[in-house]
Structure 1
């Protein structure tokens, strides 16, 4: 296994803050009250997780698109087509209330992990990519699960 570059690891972990904060404010009413008072209701509980989760799935579509540029021919076309799925999933599947939206985001992040694995198997990602994606996805799914239950 190749070590994850320090900057990628730190920034990836920093990107978990809205998920962790959202989960914490679901579990701790005192944190939710603090967040609502100083940041507003959009930045607590499931709201911050759902909005940010949609943003991240869309961002990851762009990452996959970038990986697809390393391919050619039919593999590139397949990579481009697959790369838009996370953004479309976030757009179409995050309505209908916080519980169903969080569940659909969980499905979206697990699906994204499968796409990451495919792009990795095709040799389009850095060698450390799956280590990072497994770690980040596990934490994101755990945080969203708190919102679902």
Structure 2
């Protein structure tokens, strides 16, 4: 394992801001009211959690696709096929109301972690990838769980 590059860690943590914000506005009605007034209702509570969660799962499909480009033959073909799963999951599984969508996103991020592990095990992801993904996924899942259970 190698040290997570500062830029990757900083940008990864910055990417958590909408998740943390969404969870905080679920837990604090005064903060949610301020957020609605200042930013609009789409940018607080479950709305930001679910919308941003679907965007990030789709983004991660692109990251995995990039890893697949490092492979050849059947490994590459399998990598390309697996890389589209997070985006398709986000598209098909986030309907049915906020509770169902939140649970589906939690499952999607946990499943994504499995794909991250597979790509890392095949040597297609950098050595620091899994420590970064474990940290980010843990925080994302906690925030989404606040949205589901708060």
Query: Shorter-normalised TM-score: what interval?
Result: over 0.9
Deviations 1:13-68 (A, max 9, x none): 00000000000000000000000001000000010010000000000000000000
Deviations 1:51-97 (A, max 9, x none): 00000000000000000000000000000000000000000000111
- TM-score, normalising length from structure 2? 0.99
What are the equivalent positions in structure 2 for 1:102-117 lying under 5 Å apart? 102-117=102-117
User: Could you tell me how far 1:148 is from its partner in structure 2?
Assistant: 1.1
Structure 1, unaligned runs of 5 or more: none
Partner of 1:47: 47
Structure 2, unaligned runs of 5 or more: none
Q: CA RMSD in A?
A: 0.4
Partner of 1:18: 18
Equivalences, count: 149
Partner of 2:96: 96
- TM-score, normalising length from structure 1? 0.99
Distance 1:97 1:21 in 2: 20
Distance 1:10 1:142 in 2: 19
Q: Which runs of 4+ in 1 moved over 6 A?
A: none
Partner of 1:122: 122
Partner of 1:59: 59
Partner of 2:143: 143
Partner of 1:73: 73
